[in-house]
Structure 1
């Protein structure tokens, strides 16, 4: 109990200032850093209970699902095929980058692919272990991707696209939300039903994708009744996911990830440039501005994308819709790609990671097998 108390207190103390300076998914980042630090000092708990991890996945799944709105999807109009095509191209590029990252010592192609998938960072970290990947590597590289893209976005928007802040810009708001106690009750039911249904049909990543799928159906059919996940629960979910990866770190894992960071940074930069090229293609085919195309195809940092779109007076609704399509495609496709990579791995019996670097974070594939 003393170790858990220390973990919680220090995580909260680190999360608060990160939130104040606007770090995305601050609770996840803080929990990851604190978990790593305490694990290396032998002060961390032995591990996060599996049920807590599934619950955190469920909360996150519902939270992501509430971002899907019919009006945003309708904003794509006749351009949804090209938006979907761009999202698929982004997926192919990110998986290719992940395979290249998997050539690094101590990192498997499966872990590399999950680490480089351009969307749903916290969701992928949450289910990486379940799919057979090393969630420690996935957590570090995914957060690095989001951080680099978020940090570079204001510079790119200003220097490349010469965007200026639009006057009287206001972010879209959601009204008529359910009271928090009804939202929690509805959230609980959705998570239970979603996880059970996903396991019955053997859906990979049942804890995340099951509740997410149920929430999306409710949102698109208008049956969500204004469901809104309380921010406190979202932050707790982020923290649990960060702890799950952080407390499993060892000194060897830190050294292994450190060796891979230069390659990861280079691949993230290449991926960002390639997606900017897809943004040019989207702008020409959909008749939108180059800035809108860039923001719509950004391979990460969805909250930074939204804030930038609002401040520059861009086509916010179209950009949100395109980003939601990207995130959902990544989250739903990644587990099936993981299954395919595992099958290929078994067929050719070739891996290039050492068991010592991943043994503590690997479990049998209970859902995807």
Structure 2
């Protein structure tokens, strides 16, 4: 008998038992939320990227392993979270930023594609590990939009438990090594790493109708076009078009909604953890770390190519092609006196390109080599 049938039977046979069941279910969610909030604040104070997502992943995993968490996150909640993250990414594209690379669009595009190929090839190598499918490996090491990729992994057929841990291992390694490389190799001056975002130029409440428009228009269009990961890509594309058209008026989704969306994505992955899944993740971490460092090295080489073909400094080329941590890249570029507009423009193009291409390539990989098992 399914869960609903069990609940109905409990309600008919013993109303008190059903009430206790409901209280326990609410208690599990209350515990999940109550432990995620303070951890999010703590990780945010430490400058951890996407602290709500990371906190949700940690808390969800711990509670799942203890048998104290909810069984799963409802699908409408994950779809809504994907939509919020899609809009956040879409509004990053602005005409004043992208115009910085207009004259050099071809080398920028080719270098971005090179980053995509390098990271996905490394992911397929990771897929040779026992317990990791090629699809999961590819999504885990694709360098672009970590939160977006984690959000859509299960929908694409991958194992979001492995993808979430390795994606944020990538972001963490890139963020940690970036100041050292920038100073030691490229001679950057004062270099600092920050985890914050740029302030929105419009009041927070204007972000709510922006979010609503992007979802109401984007999700049905994506469904009609049979686009993979439509809950994320549909609103993202609408937000991108509105932003490039100057129709967002500086609005972005409210920070609180963004944090909730990140937490939901973290819970989605964390609550599915089992001891067997945890052992698999721990086993692949050494090889994943080596592959991430290899991707960083390849992207640094691509940064030198970008510098040579566009006339920018070696430091700007390196920062523009660094595979992850866009806000840490922004902070490093600002503090080192780099060409911030150029660096951010290339990074935004990379993230959007990855998120547009990755779901379609993931579908092809899943068809050819199979998908992860739940």
Indicate whether the TM-score tops 0.5.
yes
Shift of 1:172: 10
**2:22 match:** none
Does the Cα contact within 8 Å between 2:205 and 2:254 map onto a contact in 1?
no
Q: Distance in 2 between matches of 1:24 and 1:60?
A: 14
Between the two proteins, the alignment pairs up a number of residues equal to 346
Cα displacement string for residues 254-303 of structure 1 (whole angstroms, at most 9, x for unaligned residues): 00111111110000000000100000111111001000000000011111
Q: How does 1:134-153 map to 2 (within 5 A)?
A: 134-153=159-178
Q: Secondary structure at the match of 1:163?
A: coil
**1:276 match:** 300
Q: Secondary structure at the match of 2:273?
A: coil
Q: How does 1:304-343 map to 2 (within 5 A)?
A: 304-343=328-367
**1:105 match:** 130
Q: Distance in 1 between matches of 2:206 and 2:236?
A: 18
Q: Distance in 2 between matches of 1:127 and 1:173?
A: 25
Q: Secondary structure at the match of 1:75?
A: helix
Shift of 1:158: 1.2
Q: Distance in 1 between matches of 2:197 and 2:154?
A: 36
Q: Distance in 2 between matches of 1:189 and 1:46?
A: 32
Segments ≥4 residues shifted beyond 4 Å: 171-176
**1:86 match:** 111
Q: Distance in 1 between matches of 2:197 and 2:146?
A: 23
The reply on whether 1:219 has 2:243 as its aligned counterpart is: yes
Structure 2 unaligned regions, length at least 5: 1-25
Q: Which piece of structure 1 moves more, 43-52 or 225-234?
A: 225-234
Q: Distance in 2 between matches of 1:235 and 1:32?
A: 13
Structure 2 CA distance for partners of 1:99 and 1:51, relative to 1, 3 Å? same
Shift of 1:227: 1.9
The reply on whether 1:158 has 2:186 as its aligned counterpart is: no
Does the Cα contact within 8 Å between 2:77 and 2:264 map onto a contact in 1?
yes
Q: How does 1:1-369 map to 2 (within 5 A)?
A: 1-165=26-190, 176-177=201-202, 179-345=203-369, 358-359=373-374
Q: Distance in 2 between matches of 1:173 and 1:303?
A: 9
Shift of 1:209: 0.5
Structure 1 unaligned regions, length at least 5: 360-369
Q: Secondary structure at the match of 2:286?
A: helix
Q: Distance in 2 between matches of 1:148 and 1:131?
A: 26
Q: Distance in 2 between matches of 1:343 and 1:17?
A: 41
Shift of 1:54: 0.4
Shift of 1:160: 1.0
Pairwise CA RMSD: 1.6
Shift of 1:176: 4.2
Q: Distance in 1 between matches of 2:344 and 2:204?
A: 25
Structure 2 CA distance for partners of 1:172 and 1:317, relative to 1, 3 Å? farther
Q: Distance in 2 between matches of 1:132 and 1:175?
A: 35
Does the Cα contact within 8 Å between 2:206 and 2:252 map onto a contact in 1?
no
**1:362 match:** none
Cα displacement string for residues 332-354 of structure 1 (whole angstroms, at most 9, x for unaligned residues): 111010111122226xxxx8x7x
Does the Cα contact within 8 Å between 2:54 and 2:266 map onto a contact in 1?
yes
Q: Distance in 2 between matches of 1:299 and 1:283?
A: 16
Structure showing greater Rg: 2
